[in-house]
Amino acid sequence: MNQATSALPHSAPLDQIDFSDPNLLRDDTWHRYFARLRDESPVHYQAESPFGPFWSITRFDDIVAVDSNFKDFSSEPAILIGDIPDDMPAEMFIAMDPPKHDVQRRAVQSVVAPRNLAEMEVLIRSRVCAILDGLPVGETFDWVSDVSINLTTQMLATLFDFPFEQRHKLTYWSDIAAGTEEMTGGDVSTEERMEGLKECLQTFTALWHERKANPRDSFDLITLLQRDPNTADMVDKPMEYLGNLMLLIVGGNDTTRNSATGGVLALNLFPEEYDKLRADHSLIPSMVSEIIRWQTPLAHMRRRATRDIEFGGQQIKKDDKVVMWYMSGNRDERAIASPDQFIIDRENPRHHISFGFGVHRCMGNRLAEMQLRILWEEIMQRFRFVEVVGEPVRVKSNFVKGYESLPVRVHPV
């Protein structure tokens, strides 16, 4: 057993707790540790960790302040607590500061603007219906693989107009992109990640040229990159192309997948909320925001101080790592009433931190909300109860806050 999980959450001195320990999320033991940070040391320095020294920011308002201040808290060179291996120096705008960030983001963000989403809604709904109609009623099955992964993989294939029969590759690349021990405490080897990303780049380079030769009237991400003068030659800058691909693949995968699972778990843990939902399906949009808050599918983002700066009464030094723990901010009772409760008709349900704030705020937020809204609209048409019948297995990571599996049974309306 490692240090953090053996240290008693109520009494261990804070300087003996490793807040970067990926087992805190895997074992779902993080709540009490981070509540103590919020109460006792909201801007907290940890001198030693497998990822080097870092500051933990755990209160909602402090996270908003750091996230909004891109001048003092840079996103370069990386936004994970761990460092990125040098062997594949992918460049992505999530890890850039303005103005370069703005140019690259502007080029791709219109693909997920609500105007385009309306075009995609019919296709997304038909795919959701097909997945739900294929579920084995009366049997126990894994919601993660059969619904959440299946759904988000199909969504990604749709967004890239990626060969549908090869779509499982997108999920694989997403899983390895941020899954190594040195990046986030995961179990993917550096070699496997390297090989996978090479294949990802090769596949998408071929797809780029194929699409260039056969242009189509479509809103897929590759076509949009080719249309915008700022990114029209991105294929000639392979590390920039790869970086954007990884960002869009990971950004559209883990997040929605784990919210699609987290919603089922939350409704089972809070059955009176499930009753509210059964009585009034118009609560789905506000429930979707509450699911995204309660789950917080990405646990943290990291910044780097660009100068010595006093923050929250602490002296942060130039080049120190500053980690914003989003899942803690979303459970901060200073900003959110009864934050550990899942309440589907909460006042101001969108006032959560899961999408981040400031110039790096999640570009796909409306797409995520739309996918989850459609999923729940169609679930409620078919099943009066998606029953959790066993314990969830959670992901070992300090970044992805999600599920490996969740056994369920579905009960038709």
Partner 1 sequence: MPRITLVEFNGTSHTIEAEVGKSLMLNAIDNSVPGIDADCGGACACGTCHVFVEPAWSEAAGESNPLEGAMLSMRPDQSDLSRLSCQIEVTDAMDGMVVRLPEYQM
Report the interface residues with partner 1, using CB under 8 A.
Answer: 64, 67-68, 70, 98, 102, 105-106, 109-110, 112-115, 348, 350-351, 355, 357-359, 361, 365-366
Nearer to partner 1, 34 or 355 (CB): 355
Q: What DSSP character marks residue 392?
A: P
Q: How far is the CB of 370 from partner 1 (least distance, A)?
A: 11
Nearer to partner 1, 205 or 365 (CB): 365
- Beta carbons within 10 angstroms of residue 236's beta carbon: 9
Nearest to 175 by CA among 155, 153, 206, 207: 153
Nearest to 282 by CA among 380, 147, 412, 395: 380
412 vs 138: CA distance, rounded Å: 9
Q: How far is the CB of 174 from partner 1 (least distance, A)?
A: 23
CB 58 within 8 A of CB 328: yes
Nearer to partner 1, 355 or 383 (CB): 355
Nearer to partner 1, 41 or 365 (CB): 365
297 vs 283: CA distance, rounded Å: 21
Nearest to 31 by CA among 283, 276, 299: 299
Q: How far is the CB of 296 from partner 1 (least distance, A)?
A: 15
Question: For residues 41-51, b (16+ Cβ closer than 10 Å) or e, as one string?
Answer: bbbbbbeebeb
67 vs 302: CA distance, rounded Å: 9
Q: How far is the CB of 369 from partner 1 (least distance, A)?
A: 10
Nearer to partner 1, 114 or 390 (CB): 114
Q: How far is the CB of 110 from partner 1 (least distance, A)?
A: 4
Q: How far is the CB of 176 from partner 1 (least distance, A)?
A: 29
274 vs 280: CA distance, rounded Å: 10
Classify 203 in phi/psi space as left (phi over 0), alpha (psi -120 to 50) or beta: alpha
Nearer to partner 1, 197 or 372 (CB): 372
Which amino acid, one-letter code, is at 24? L
Q: How far is the CB of 88 from partner 1 (least distance, A)?
A: 27
Nearer to partner 1, 373 or 382 (CB): 373
